[in-house]
Copies of this chain bind each other. A is one copy, B any other.
Amino acid sequence: MIKILVVDDEPQIARALRINLSAHGYEVTTAPDGAQALRAAAGVVPDLVVLDLGLPDMDGTEVITGLRGWTSVPILVLSGRAASAEKIAALDAGADDYVTKPFDIGELLARVRAATRRGNAAGDSPVTEIGGATVNLAVREVKRDGKEVRLTKTEWQLLEVLLRNPGKLVGQRELLHRVWGPNYDRETNYLRQYMAQLRRKLEADPARPVHLLTEPGMGYRFRP
């Protein structure tokens, strides 16, 4: 889910934005001032920041430069001031877009889509490291020492469930259901078989796995 951080000191605007964005499938966090915005961004690492310039504690461009110091997350600025000088300052500070209030909510949503689309296309491919191997779930690719490793469909499905729950113990029953279907409950031999194959292909020392762990009697766990 795409995460958006909304920074606005006016509660009703913040609430309106939260409602509209949530209704369109975004995960919304809000912050009422610049200091909390910077802290929140460092915590959740959003995919987009919607920033109102009229903040009580610091100037809007300071927030922008504060963010730009360590992240290239898209920043969409909202402002009541339509003066060109303001826009130029915000854009040159590192903002990606500038919308003046009052704004049409449909247009804002379209600009949000445009900004997040860029972010995704710009190529953040979530890769996971396992032993000497690199797993890229988005493009279904595993590399080890620069060479490609091929996984079968079943191996991918099993690996995906584990990787999507990093650090969490996934029960045998749940793994069987997710990979083979709801009619499979006790076929733990399938799991042993395919876990062994995954370890052989991914772990540095398949006999002593470090990331794909067995929890005897319960299930398996992926430790990052």
Q: How far is the CB of A221 from chain B (nearest CB, A)?
A: 8
Q: Are A139 and B169 in contact (CB under 8 A)?
A: yes
A141 and B118 in contact (CB under 8 A), knowing A91-B111, A91-B113, A110-B87?
Answer: no
Q: Does A208 contact B (CB under 8 A)?
A: no
A114's partner among B91, B122, B152, B217 (CB-CB below 8 A) is B91
Query: In the complex, what residues of B have CB within 8 A of residue A202's CB?
Result: none
Q: Does A106 contact B (CB under 8 A)?
A: yes
Total number of A residues with any Cβ neighbor in B under 8 Å: 42
Query: In the complex, what residues of B have CB within 8 A of residue A24's CB?
Result: none
Q: Are B118 and A104 in contact (CB under 8 A)?
A: no
How many Å lie between the Cα of A105 and that of B110 in the bound state?
Answer: 24
Q: Does A167 contact B (CB under 8 A)?
A: yes
Kindly supply a per-residue 1/0 record for chain A positions 75-103, scoring 1 wherever the CB is within 8 Å of any chain B CB and 0 otherwise: 00000000011011001101111100000
How many Å lie between the Cα of A121 and that of B96 in the bound state?
Answer: 12
Query: In the complex, what residues of B have CB within 8 A of residue A141's CB?
Result: 167, 169
